[in-house]
Chain A
Amino acid sequence: MLLKEEVEMLRRVPLFSKIAPAKLKLLAFASERLNCREGQNLFRQGDPGDAAYVVLSGTADVLVNSNGDEVKVADVEQNSIVGEIAILCDVSRTATVRATSRLEVLKISKENFLGLMNDFPDMAVEIMRVLADRLNHTTSELTAARVREQRATT
């Protein structure tokens, strides 16, 4: 796939929708295009986080390791972004992302990602929206889990 097509694709990602095409072209050029085959890990829990990934095509699972068992906590869909927590908070990967079909991603290095957020406040807001959305999702799941737990003990 060529740079021009990638730019088209990036524009469809909500996160980048407000960024000028010239800048997107630069982002595409400065980022690595990677393929993951089915079952391959994009990254593993505990690895140092040095990049975020934009999923261009394909699907993946988000898995969390708990007491030796892997628990699936979320799905990754096309045009979404994964791995941004590790580079925003400077922590190691909080979960494993494993491809469930052939996955095409754009790898955006930490410096590039932070640079973009500085240059485009819109993007920072968008990132916040994504994070808030996830927090909302997590909170409701936690609530449900607590309720289940309470019922089980009583």
Chain B
Amino acid sequence: MRMEKGLARYIWRNTSRQQLWILAIVALSMIPYFLSFDLPKQIVNGPIQGQGFEDVDATRTFMELSPTLPLIGEVHLFSGFELDRLQTLLALSFVFLGLVVLNGLFKFYINTYKGRLGERMLRRIRFDLIDRVLRFPPNQFKKVKSAEIATMIKDEVEPLGGFTGDAFVQPALLGGQAITALAFIIIQNFWLGMIAAGIVCVQAIIIPRMRRRLLELGRQRQLTARQLSGRVSEIVDGIHSIHAHDTSNLERADIAQRLGLIFNIRYDLYQWKFLVKFINNFLAQVTPFLFYVIGGYLALQGRLDIGQLVAVIAAYKDLPGPLKELIDWDQARQDVQVKYAQVVEQFDVEPLVPATVQTVMREPVERLAAPLVASHLLVTDDSGAPILNRVSLEIQPNETIAVLGQNGAGGEAIAEAFGRVVWPDSGKITIGGQDILEMPESVTGRRISFASSDAHFFHGTLRDNLFYGLKHAPLTETTYKGSEARAFKRNLLEAQRSGNPSFDLNSDWIDYDAAGATGPDDLLKVIRPVLDAVMISQDIFDLALRSKVDLAAHPAMSEVIVDVRAALQRRLAEEDLEGTVVPFQPDSYNDQATVGENLLFGTMKQSMLTPATLAAHPYFKQIMRETGLSNELYAMGLEIAETAVELFRDLPPDNPFFQQLTFMSAEDIPAYQELLQSLKGTTAEDVSSKDRINIIRLSFAYIEPRHRFGLLTPDLRDKIVKARQSFYADLPEDLATMIERHDPAKFSESASLIDNVLFGRIAYSEADASDRIKRIARDIFADMDLEHNVLSIGLDFDVGTQGRRLTNVQRQKLNLARALLKRSDYFIFNRPLPALDQRAQDQIVTNVMRDLHRDGYRPAIIWVLPTADVAQLFDRVLVFKGGNLVENGCYDEVFDKNGMFKQLVS
């Protein structure tokens, strides 16, 4: 389906009914509007100047209703009231007030209606555009920049929404108003009316001509801005290449040039805009000048009564407004039309994937039992060179195939064609006689799994990304209650009105059946073998250990933490490792923790409290002063500073020794050197609080066994423990909510899982202690049947933009795992793990080949392998060379052939 080229037609097609309705309302609103024009004249001529009230007692009939209907003649409905001059004045004035209110209400309704219409239109067009992106052919994505598409959808179509409401109403309303005002002027005085009409014609001819240039500039502004956002995203995405090649200044030059161009276009635009405005205003002001001169002259001659002249001038007040707005509307129309055409040009892509291919499918999809057949498959690269040269082959539904050959020999191309990443130039891939490009994605996306090295991750948790491949359709009906239900219903209706689908994002989209699970509870158990097979469980486990745990999502952890800690102590005792972890104890100093940690004896809740704010807190300061710790830690900090300066003074800042200097950076050394100079001979009391904090800060980070300056006397340790106790004795409410005190029976949400398990610090001087403890922790979790909980905590990890917080190796493993989770009938793996070393790759291939064919489930596997090491595991070997299938047969057959395969093996 092509996109509508004309904006007006697009709007009309989607909103014709609403447009007609609002037009009717506008027409209706014209009646009070016109009446309110005539009224001032009646008031001035009637009760004020006395027309019809020549006698003192004269009265007039008010509100007589006797309309003259065709065929029937005059119908007498209401005879009205008889009112005298003053009463008539009041009555007419109130009618005037009533009309003002009525006009206002009409305006209010019309504007709200238009606003809603516009917002729906904007929603519709944005959705349409994204819908088209989802259906672009793969080739299109080689040409477009993602940021440009985003800019188009986000910014460029936005004025369309505002315009939609005005598209038909505005010209009708304003045109009506202008014509009414003009007609009224003409009725009052033909020649004055003609003058006004003449000026209007001049405006209507000159202004749009001048605006043509504006439109062209507007188009350029749009294009350059779009290209700018494309370039910005290129810089962000390519930042490492920019640093690697020292080309940041080339980028600066490019951006500066673009910004210069944009500046020129925009400045030009301003100049034109204000020139047009000036001429427009001038023409509008010229008309009253003519009225005063000519109308005044006629009135002096007595050919025009004053009431008429006042009415003409009053009516003219209402003419330039609508007229100006009408001209603005016309500009907006052209502007939006240009924008729309620009956007359509980018999105009107052929051939688009038919919408039926992506229809949502809530039911399970049947197995693919027919063989996968490629016939005369021709795939060319962008220069037209064939990378797959009319290859035909057939793969049985339970066959395992190793695809071999050098890079670019054709193996990757056939896998990509099977995975629908490239579309063949000619030839077909069919299953059971149906072209896979025409099959619904609910079949190809569920029954065929494809994984390549190009692993894309969406911003979210590891869990979201791992289960991404199972979320095909909203499978459960979420029930809402009370106000939520009403809001849901409203939103659903609104979505339909804008042509958006009514899928509920809050529904559970995960297809548990497809993964072989029965529900959320045993999903982890089912995926565990997959995670093990791709060798990622260890990584997820480590991520979990380093993460903070959200107890609301993992309540089990707080229940078992006491047992886990006890088990750790037991295991440490068994393995003779008791000294390795020094536990936190409320009444003793922990040598392996910093002085600050010993003092605080707890963790600060992130985002609520920082060391700096704690140091500035009056209660904390008071404790430090009262216990005398402040002075002692100051003295200690001085010694640390002196030693550090002495040690590091002469080193260049990039010396690797600085890594060990945890409490200062290389840049701090000269600053501290100066500070020490200036502090010489002063006592702790006379030092400014800023310097004091800078010195005490050093002692807070000090760990005796690590830094080994010999500064912590037993006496000082006792003092710190005492200060800790008095700190907690009377802790004010605000601090208490921000600090989680170490509690052997409590799980701390502001400390990592491993810190929670250890409930202490690992001794610095123990060789590979940290690895051993991790291993022990893992054993304990396994023994206590908590492995799934821990894994689940690891799956909460936020992977960052494009999964960049994971390593490349982790991303590729997860990508493979994601494909394996679906129990498909055809698995296509296109060198999915190039970031791994060969040994690890072979191990994973072996694991997957072993695990996938379990419990009588035998899917087909087509694996493009980098080397022939593990080709024996497969039923059949295909060898590609120069885009052709050169060898095809079981391992022994092709091995004996003495051909290409033998070369690859050796």
Task: List the interface of chain A (C-beta within 8 A of B).
Answer: 1-4, 6, 22, 25-37, 40, 42, 105, 109, 111-112, 115
Contact = CB atoms under 8 A, between A and B. Distances in A.
Given A3-B710, A26-B647, A112 B576 contact: no
A5 to B, nearest CB: 9
B847 to A, nearest CB: 22
B657 A30 contact: yes
A42 B769 CA distance: 11
Interface stretch (B270-278, B380-388, B678-686, B759-767): B759-767
Given A25-B647, A26-B648, A42-B767, A33 B708 contact: yes
B249 interface: no
Given A26-B648, A109-B656, A111-B656, A2 B767 contact: no
A132 B659 CA distance: 32
Contacts of B301: none
Given A29-B660, A30-B660, A40-B767, 18 more contacts: A2-B708, A3-B708, A3-B710, A6-B708, A22-B647, A25-B647, A27-B657, A30-B656, A30-B657, A32-B765, A33-B705, A33-B765, A35-B767, A37-B576, A105-B767, A109-B659, A112-B656, A112-B657
A43 to B, nearest CB: 9
Classify chain B: how many residues form its interface, as a range.
Answer: 10 to 19
A37 B710 CA distance: 24
Given A26-B648, A37-B576, A32 B764 contact: yes
A29 B764 CA distance: 13
Interface string B641-654: 00000111001000
A132 B91 CA distance: 121
Contact of A34 (B660, B708, B766): B766
- Shortest Cβ-Cβ A-B pairs, 8 listed: A111-B656, A30-B657, A2-B710, A30-B660, A34-B767, A3-B708, A35-B765, A36-B767
B857 interface: no
A117 to B, nearest CB: 13
A109 B660 CA distance: 11
A115 B655 contact: yes
A30 B658 CA distance: 8
20 contacts: A1-B708, A2-B709, A3-B710, A4-B710, A22-B646, A22-B647, A26-B651, A29-B708, A30-B656, A30-B659, A32-B765, A33-B764, A34-B765, A34-B766, A34-B767, A105-B767, A109-B656, A109-B659, A115-B656, A115-B657
Given A111-B656, A112-B657, A115-B656, A29 B707 contact: yes
A26 B708 contact: no
Contacts of B646: 22
A29 B656 contact: no
Nearest to B709: A3
Given A35-B765, A35-B767, A29 B710 contact: no
Nearest to B651: A26
B173 to A, nearest CB: 76
Interface string B706-721: 0111100000000000
B846 to A, nearest CB: 21
Contacts of B656: 30, 109, 111-112, 115
Nearest to B658: A30
Contacts of B648: 26
B769 to A, nearest CB: 9
Interface in B280-300: none
A28 B706 CA distance: 11
Nearest to A113: B656
Contacts of A26: 647-648, 651, 657
Contacts, number: 55
Contacts of B647: 22, 25-26, 29
Contacts of B709: 2-3
A92 to B, nearest CB: 13
A42 B705 CA distance: 20
Contacts of A40: 767
A34 B647 CA distance: 22
A4 B659 CA distance: 20
B493 to A, nearest CB: 62
Nearest to A32: B764
Nearest to B579: A35
A102 B528 CA distance: 41
Interface string B679-713: 00000000000000000000000000101111000
Contacts of A34: 765-767
Nearest to A26: B647
A22 to B, nearest CB: 8
A22 B650 CA distance: 11
Nearest to A33: B765
Contact of A35 (B655, B707, B766): B766
A106 to B, nearest CB: 10
A40 to B, nearest CB: 7
A26 B669 CA distance: 14
A2 B707 CA distance: 8
Contacts of A6: 708
A40 B576 CA distance: 12
Interface in B623-663: 646-648, 651, 655-657, 659-660
Contacts of B657: 26-27, 29-30, 112, 115
Interface string B443-457: 000000000000000
Contacts of B651: 26
B832 to A, nearest CB: 25
Contacts of A109: 656, 659
Nearest to A27: B657
Contacts of B764: 32-33
B775 to A, nearest CB: 14
Contacts of A33: 705, 708, 764-765
Contacts of B576: 37
Contacts of A22: 646-647
A109 B710 CA distance: 23
Contacts of A35: 765-767
Contacts of A27: 657
A2 to B, nearest CB: 4
B569 to A, nearest CB: 18
A111 B651 CA distance: 14
A105 to B, nearest CB: 8
A3 B657 CA distance: 15
Interface in B701-744: 705, 707-710
B657 to A, nearest CB: 4
Nearest to B706: A32
A113 to B, nearest CB: 9
Contacts of B655: 115
Contacts of B766: 34-35
Contacts of A2: 708-710
B592 to A, nearest CB: 13
A48 B594 CA distance: 31
Interface string B539-579: 00000000000000000000000000000000000001000
Nearest to B766: A35
B656 to A, nearest CB: 4
A132 B646 CA distance: 36
Considering residues B707, B766, B767, which has the most beta carbons from chain A within 10 angstroms of its beta carbon? B767
A33 B767 CA distance: 9
Contacts of B705: 33
B711 to A, nearest CB: 9
A22 B646 CA distance: 9
Nearest to A39: B576
A112 B655 CA distance: 8
A109 B709 CA distance: 21
A33 B648 CA distance: 19
Interface string B751-795: 000000000000011110000000000000000000000000000
Contacts of B767: 34-36, 40, 42, 105
A35 B580 CA distance: 10
A36 B577 CA distance: 11
Nearest to A40: B767
Considering residues A25, A30, A37, A42, which has the most beta carbons from chain B within 10 angstroms of its beta carbon? A30
